[in-house]
Structure 1
């Protein structure tokens, strides 16, 4: 069943979200602080039975100089630097197994999958990057960790890590730094959208059912996690509602969309009860670069799944292999 607006209403919908006045100063200061630490990427080959793809364990210094782990995959047969795709994974997942996620490397790209710090305990393969920063009281899950102050909020660290991941892949001798794109689904789509708003000169971007967009609306119209973590937190802390949404103003995908200019593909399932489609359309309408969106009428949070990827992959090939 439809969980949100129908398609004609989605095309008309515009979010009322307004970011904080110091949004740009907050993020420029955060990234300047992170860049005070040497990026120091290290690339270690991983032995696998794969014949056409090489796998490397890449580590770099993220927020606070903390080590962030990634898988970097590349075609074995290559001549010279290649275009790269940086991918961010879904909520509570991790970078997974070295044999996972072979699509982009099989299509001829260098492919980096960043491990989201502190997550990765919910799925096979899991994650390998701890979050050494503590936080105050939170609802079970990750979404409310440090949420009463934007400087302490967990996604400040995650989004900073993600920007540094693009910087790390651009330093790799395997990669042409001028031909890098970002992709992600759900939480990964929200992270990719933040990166698109924070990193200049990206070649392409793909956001499937992006999380953390139009967040206040999302909490009011969905009864599914992870947004229910916010509702649970605020049900117990009734006097913190405005404080919490003031923090979230620095992390909402609408604000990043207003600052992004890479050619972008969005997708949404009209039956998505996790990330309601109006929140994806809110980000899409705010996006300042060239953009397309696909609404999958009878799909939920998969937002078209592999069929959606089949639309985007040739577009990435054209943009990243031949340049914008």
Structure 2
């Protein structure tokens, strides 16, 4: 796969104008206030994962609309003092999987909180959280156009709200150090983490690995790959919905959240990535308001740096934990 997007020298300076609605902050303040009407009621139930070096808890907490969201809390075995914590969000279609899928940060000494993604978990890794709410408009298969005609009804309004409340749920556990919470995710998980970084203060750091859900219009114009292609496919049928679709998506664009985020961040990008194009990642990175670093993988597609990026993240996390 040859390079198809802007050259790296241009990507480093690529900072497109953001499409942001005047009531963006009010919309999200209202959304989170509505969610706050429901008690978190975070519950941690011991779980037999057959792993001797970690303690595992099955998690349930109330997300958007009071809907119960599943997750895992994985702790270094026998921990007695509050720990630096990583809250993980999951890639498109995947679910929370099993505790043994999430061992890199616990063995590095971090508490690890994994949030299941509502309605997903039937692609790659299993999930346990339904989405009781459906969009009111017709949609293409997938999640990108579910409720896309109305920001209040859009699928990711619920997911992003769940994700903010996942941090709150993690903080209710006595072994989570509130001053050292880092959020993390790859692809869709990276897009979810970007939203949380822009919506919630008090984070010690954020890690966005080849993030999705940013620069929607450009992505639909330069690649014909899923999941962004779900939007283009919808608009190829609903030709008269373009203006409203992109207006809705502007409330969920990673660039707008990045411009509000202030915690230290570690990004990654792959220059041959036709799923999350490099220019969309750099658009988020270059708008990010806090201290930031980016790791560039020139010859990779959406797999990005994989285990090499994990090594970068573990080293970065070690420094964040020391400095927080």
Give TM class, smaller chain: over 0.9
Structure 1 partner of 2:168: 167
CA contact (8 A) 1:203 1:323 kept: no
Structure 1 partner of 2:198: 197
Give 3-state SS (helix, strand or coil) of 1:12's partner.
Answer: coil
CA distance, structure 2, for counterparts of residue 306 and residue 99 of structure 1: 16
CA distance, structure 2, for counterparts of residue 3 and residue 87 of structure 1: 30
Correspondences of 1:34-113 after superposition (within 5 Å) = 34-113=35-114
CA distance, structure 2, for counterparts of residue 3 and residue 139 of structure 1: 27
CA contact (8 A) 1:171 1:177 kept: no
Correspondences of 1:145-160 after superposition (within 5 Å) = 145-160=146-161
Q: CA deviation at 1:323?
A: 3.9
Give 3-state SS (helix, strand or coil) of 1:259's partner.
Answer: coil
Structure 1 partner of 2:219: 218
Q: CA deviation at 1:137?
A: 1.0
Q: CA deviation at 1:150?
A: 0.3
CA RMSD of aligned residues (A): 0.9
CA distance, structure 2, for counterparts of residue 48 and residue 268 of structure 1: 33
CA contact (8 A) 2:55 2:78 kept: no
1:297 and 2:286 are equivalent in the alignment:
no
Structure 2 partner of 1:281: 282
Q: CA deviation at 1:18?
A: 2.1
Correspondences of 1:109-120 after superposition (within 5 Å) = 109-120=110-121
CA distance, structure 2, for counterparts of residue 134 and residue 79 of structure 1: 42
Give 3-state SS (helix, strand or coil) of 1:289's partner.
Answer: coil
Identify unmatched segments of 5+ residues in structure 2. Answer: none
1:209 and 2:243 are equivalent in the alignment:
no
Correspondences of 1:301-320 after superposition (within 5 Å) = 301-320=302-321
CA distance, structure 2, for counterparts of residue 183 and residue 246 of structure 1: 27
CA deviations 1:19-56 (Å, max 9, x no partner) are 11100000000001100100000000111221101111
CA contact (8 A) 1:209 1:267 kept: yes
Q: CA deviation at 1:16?
A: 2.0
Question: Which moves more between the two structures, 221-230 or 301-310?
Answer: 301-310
CA distance, structure 2, for counterparts of residue 3 and residue 127 of structure 1: 34
Moved over 3 A (4+): none
Q: CA deviation at 1:280?
A: 0.5
1:131 and 2:131 are equivalent in the alignment:
yes
Structure 1 partner of 2:143: 142
CA distance, structure 1, for counterparts of residue 234 and residue 309 of structure 2: 34
Structure 1 partner of 2:251: 250
Give 3-state SS (helix, strand or coil) of 1:99's partner.
Answer: helix
CA distance, structure 1, for counterparts of residue 236 and residue 150 of structure 2: 18
Q: CA deviation at 1:12?
A: 2.2
CA contact (8 A) 1:218 1:275 kept: yes
CA contact (8 A) 1:148 1:244 kept: yes
Q: CA deviation at 1:79?
A: 2.9
Q: CA deviation at 1:77?
A: 3.1
Q: CA deviation at 1:200?
A: 0.2
CA contact (8 A) 1:219 1:231 kept: yes
CA contact (8 A) 1:179 1:323 kept: no
CA contact (8 A) 1:178 1:203 kept: yes
Give 3-state SS (helix, strand or coil) of 2:37's partner.
Answer: coil
Give the TM-score normalised by structure 1: 0.98
CA deviations 1:103-137 (Å, max 9, x no partner) are 1111111101100000011124x100000012131
CA distance, structure 2, for counterparts of residue 152 and residue 231 of structure 1: 19
CA distance, structure 1, for counterparts of residue 155 and residue 198 of structure 2: 18
Give the TM-score normalised by structure 2: 0.98
